[in-house]
Each structure stands twice: as structure tokens, then as C-alpha cells.
């Protein structure tokens, strides 16, 4: 299989930095967060001071994407640094018996070999069975849920009933929790980073917020009474709670003297969803589809020791780059990164390389595909056809240029199909209702309805 060479390569990762020089690495992953729904993204009604502070002092990826517009495949790409379609993880929500290909090396696997202790707090969504459990996929510590979403409060009659994959567990054992789940996750993350251990740490802080159900505390909702839409008020309060947890984590790092040499990534797993009152404007579309609103997300990196000058980084980047960049930061050799689709962004950020990290980016899930080539964006809808946009002039994807740019369209279609020919067959499917629903949405946007 194509994954074999990657496994062999990463098994022999070379440790070239001493433990004290290696940065701690944190991924802060929001869930279904809208493009415009943070202060640093221009929101007028949602407050996120701690996230905004990190962003304003870090590297903001203005054209930053995830590898899928839905939860599970996006996370598979993030955790492996590879297009998840290469190993059949194309559709969302694996069936009960399935999960992320066991031959894939995760970022946690690779960092453990580089001397890191590894922890995951929050949502997994890469397989419910024990064989796919985070502790089997490179994580020393896990506190969270196996599945995709759940109540934000303890519920022994539903999510927290014995055997439910949405129940909260700690290293394989069901646990009770008190309070609001985002706050609980935040404290568990702090507990993990301050364990008595001299090794650097990797923390994957995978929030469920602001994914539905739209649960927030009354105290947090009271801060947003000016928002008349009750669903959006809850959404704002959920983001506020996530921001609060991030602020406490940052303050904890500062108190321990670890903040300067901690590489922090922040992004969402996909664009804002239709059901949580999120806003993706001025981007077209939303979670689940191939327009920019589905895959372009708030995305930044913060690492004071190395990224000394905050800036906006405009070339295309993708969540797959997080693994390659994190491994390079942790001391992996260039050859150790072979087989990854992601790029080490450090030389691009530090302007040691002047070319863009990626010439092309690709997306594909069952019935829909997309490709970026610089500012050009190609979209394919099964049983309908193609659309082409110039994002430099038309960020909202409102003017289809497929007829006026025939030569470019033909070249990009051929290139997209060549890429798709190298993918593994999907290991599971999705209900046809998703094809009908998302097909109508794609066509409606393409035709300007």
C-alpha cells in the first residue's frame, strides 16, 4: 500500500534537538466555526479577546484551508499530514466498525518518536472502536469523546449512558463531569500540560464548540443580550467559553515560563455550518460543500521564539501543513517528511523561500470535487458539471468563468482528474440525502440563485 513507505520513514525520525530546545506544540481546533465569527476576523457581535491576541501576535494565514469541509475527513488529514482520500477516509462519520486507516502514522505517533509526551482533550471522531482509540493512535493521554458531538452538560440518560460513543472518557474509562463541557476540557488541557515530566508536550485540544447542540450557560449568554437571534446568542456564548478556556491555557503557559517556546496552531475543522447561526461571509457556501465557505477557515500559528514578527501570510496553506511544520520544529530531518502532502511552512514564513508553499490544493468527497491553482478555483458537481472562479477578483465566487476561460478550465479539469485517479476507493459512503442536499446548494450558488 502507498502508506507503507510513510510508516517506514516516520519510524526512523531523527531526534536532532535536545528536549529543552524542542518547542511544546498545541493544536487548538474549533468545530464548525464561521469564517467571520472571531474578533480578528472582523466580527461585530462576537467577542474572542484571547484568540484575537494570539492571532494579532502570530502568523495569520489569510488563505488557510482544511482538507475537507466536514469533520471526520478533515481531522484525518490534520492528524496524518496527508490527503485523507489517499487512504479511503473520504466520507464523514465512519460507521460503527470503521475508522481512520490503522496503517497511517499520526502526528502524535511521530512526535512520540521525537521524545514528546502526547495528549488529546476533546473530540476524536476518527473511529469508535477500541482499535481506533486515541491511546492506540499515539496519544499517551485522552480525555474526551470518541464520536462527533454531544450535550455540553452531563447526561446519564443519553450521551453518558454506558456504551455510548458520545460519553466522556479518560484513557478508556467512562467518567462523570461537572459543569459546562468546554470549561471542563479547558481545565483538563491545563492539567495535562503541567504534568510532572521533563519531556516537551504535544496537546491536541479538540473543542466541540461551537458545533451543535447550541448549549451555553446562562451566565455566558447574558453577556450577549444585544444579539436578538437566540441561536446566534448561544453561538456567541459558546465561542466566548472556548476563548476563555484558551485564555486560561495561555496564562498557564506564561506562568510556567513555557509560552515563548510553545508553537500554537489555531483553526476550525471546516467552515461554519447552516444550523449553528455561523457567518461565513464574504465567502460563499458553508460546511459540507466545496465553495470557500466550506474549507477556508480562521487559521494562524503563534510561536514567539521563532515567529518574532507578526504578519499576515497570504499564499495558500492547508491543515496538512501542520504536521510537516510541527515535525520540522520538533527536530525531524527533511527526509523524515517525505510522503506527506503538507509542507513545512517555517522557511516560507521566515522568507527563506520566496515561492508559495503550494501550487495546487485539492478537495474531493464522493460526489463533489474542487481544486485551487493560485487564485483560480475549479469546482465539480456530479451530474451537473464544472464551475471556475478567479478568487483574486471574485472572493465570493459569484461569476462562473467556465465558458470564458476554456483553455484554463480544460487544463485544470485534467489535472484534478489525474489527482483523483491516484486516490483509494472510499471505505464507506454517506446517505444519498447528502448528495441531493449539497448538490442543490452547489448548483444554486453556481447559477446565482
From 4-13, 128-137, 263-272, 387-396, the region with the lowest mean pLDDT: 4-13
Both 272 and 253 in a single domain? yes
Enumerate the active-site residues. Answer: 71, 125
Cβ neighbours of 86 (radius 10 Å)? 22
pLDDT in tens, 116-139: 999 999 999 999 999 999 999 999
- What value does the mean pLDDT take over residues 181-203? 97
For the entire predicted model, the pTM comes to: 0.95
Among candidate residues 333, 366, 349, 343, the one with its CA nearest the CA of residue 300:
349
Give me the pLDDT at residue 17, please. Answer: 67
Give me the pLDDT at residue 4, please. Answer: 45
Both 283 and 379 in a single domain? no
Give me the pLDDT at residue 336, please. Answer: 83
Both 345 and 378 in a single domain? no
pLDDT in tens, 13-68: 444 567 779 999 999 999 999 999 999 999 999 999 999 999 999 999 999 999 99
Q: Which CATH number is 305's domain given?
A: 3.40.720.10
Give me the pLDDT at residue 335, please. Answer: 86
User: What's the mean pLDDT when you consider all of the chain?
Assistant: 96
Please state the domain count of the chain: 2
Is there a domain that residue 355 lies in?
Answer: no
Q: What is the CA radius of gyration of the chain?
A: 21
- What value does the mean pLDDT take over residues 303-325? 98
Give me the pLDDT at residue 370, please. Answer: 99
Cα gap 202→109, rounded to integer Å = 11
pLDDT over 70 for what percent of the chain?
A: 96
Cα gap 316→358, rounded to integer Å = 6
Both 173 and 44 in a single domain? yes
Residues with Cβ within 8 Å of 127's Cβ and at least 6 positions away in sequence, in order, are: 94, 98, 99, 100, 133, 146
Both 80 and 212 in a single domain? yes
pLDDT in tens, 360-369: 999 999 999 9
pLDDT over 90 for what percent of the chain?
A: 94
Both 334 and 413 in a single domain? no
pLDDT in tens, 398-422: 999 999 999 999 999 999 999 999 9
Give me the pLDDT at residue 446, please. Answer: 98
Domain encompassing residue 436: 360-446
Amino acid at each position: 500500500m502507498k502508506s507503507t513507505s510513510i510508516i517506514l520513514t516516520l519510524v526512523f525520525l531523527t531526534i536532532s534537538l535536545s528536549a529543552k530546545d524542542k518547542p511544546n506544540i498545541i493544536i487548538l481546533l474549533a468545530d464548525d466555526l464561521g469564517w467571520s465569527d472571531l474578533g480578528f476576523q472582523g466580527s461585530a457581535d462576537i467577542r474572542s479577546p484571547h484568540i484575537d491576541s494570539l492571532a494579532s501576535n502570530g502568523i495569520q494565514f489569510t488563505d488557510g484551508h482544511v482538507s475537507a469541509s466536514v469533520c471526520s475527513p478533515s481531522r484525518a488529514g490534520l492528524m496524518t499530514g496527508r490527503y485523507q482520500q489517499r487512504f479511503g477516509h473520504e466520507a464523514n462519520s465512519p460507521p460503527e466498525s470503521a475508522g481512520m486507516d490503522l496503517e497511517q502514522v499520526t502526528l502524535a505517533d511521530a512526535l512520540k518518536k521525537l521524545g514528546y509526551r502526547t495528549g488529546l482533550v476533546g473530540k476524536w471522531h476518527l473511529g469508535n472502536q477500541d482499535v481506533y482509540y486515541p491511546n492506540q493512535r499515539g496519544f499517551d493521554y485522552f480525555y474526551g469523546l470518541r464520536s462527533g458531538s454531544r450535550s455540553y452538560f452531563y447526561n446519564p440518560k443519553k450521551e453518558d449512558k454506558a456504551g455510548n460513543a458520545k460519553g466522556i472518557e479518560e484513557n478508556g474509562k467512562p467518567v462523570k463531569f461537572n459543569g459546562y463541557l468546554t470549561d471542563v476540557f479547558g481545565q483538563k488541557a491545563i492539567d495535562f500540560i503541567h504534568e510532572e515530566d521533563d519531556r516537551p508536550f504535544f496537546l491536541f485540544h479538540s473543542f466541540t464548540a461551537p458545533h451543535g447542540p447550541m448549549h451555553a450557560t446562562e451566565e455566558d449568554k447574558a453577556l450577549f443580550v444585544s444579539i436578538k437571534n437566540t441561536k446566534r446568542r448561544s453561538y456567541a456564548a459558546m465561542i466566548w467559553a472556548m476563548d476563555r478556556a484558551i485564555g486560561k491555557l495561555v496564562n498557564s503557559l506564561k506562568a510556567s515560563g513555557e509560552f515563548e517556546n510553545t508553537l500554537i496552531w489555531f483553526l476550525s475543522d471546516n467552515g461554519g455550518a447552516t444550523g449553528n447561526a455561523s457567518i461565513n461571509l464574504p465567502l460563499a457556501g458553508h460546511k459540507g460543500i466545496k465553495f470557500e465557505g466550506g474549507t477556508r477557515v480562521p487559521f494562524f500559528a503563534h510561536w514567539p521564539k521563532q515567529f518574532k514578527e507578526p504578519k499576515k501570510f497570504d499564499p495558500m496553506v492547508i491543515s496538512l501543513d501542520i504536521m510537516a511544520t510541527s515535525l520540522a520544529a520538533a527536530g525531524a530531518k527533511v527526509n523524515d517528511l517525505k510522503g506527506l502532502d503538507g509542507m513545512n511552512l517555517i522557511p516560507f514564513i521566515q522568507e527563506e523561500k520566496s515561492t508559495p508553499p503550494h501550487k495546487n490544493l485539492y478537495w474531493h468527497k464522493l460526489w463533489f470535487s474542487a481544486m485551487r491553482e493560485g487564485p483560480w478555483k475549479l469546482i465539480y458537481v456530479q451530474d451537473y458539471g464544472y464551475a471556475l472562479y478567479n478568487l483574486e477578483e471574485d472572493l465570493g465566487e459569484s461569476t462562473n468563468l467556465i465558458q470564458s476561460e476554456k483553455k484554463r478550465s480544460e487544463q485544470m479539469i485534467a489535472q484534478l482528474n489525474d489527482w483523483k485517479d491516484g486516490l483509494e476507493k472510499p471505505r464507506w459512503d454517506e446517505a444519498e440525502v447528502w448528495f441531493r442536499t449539497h448538490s442543490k446548494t452547489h448548483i444554486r450558488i453556481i447559477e446565482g440563485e
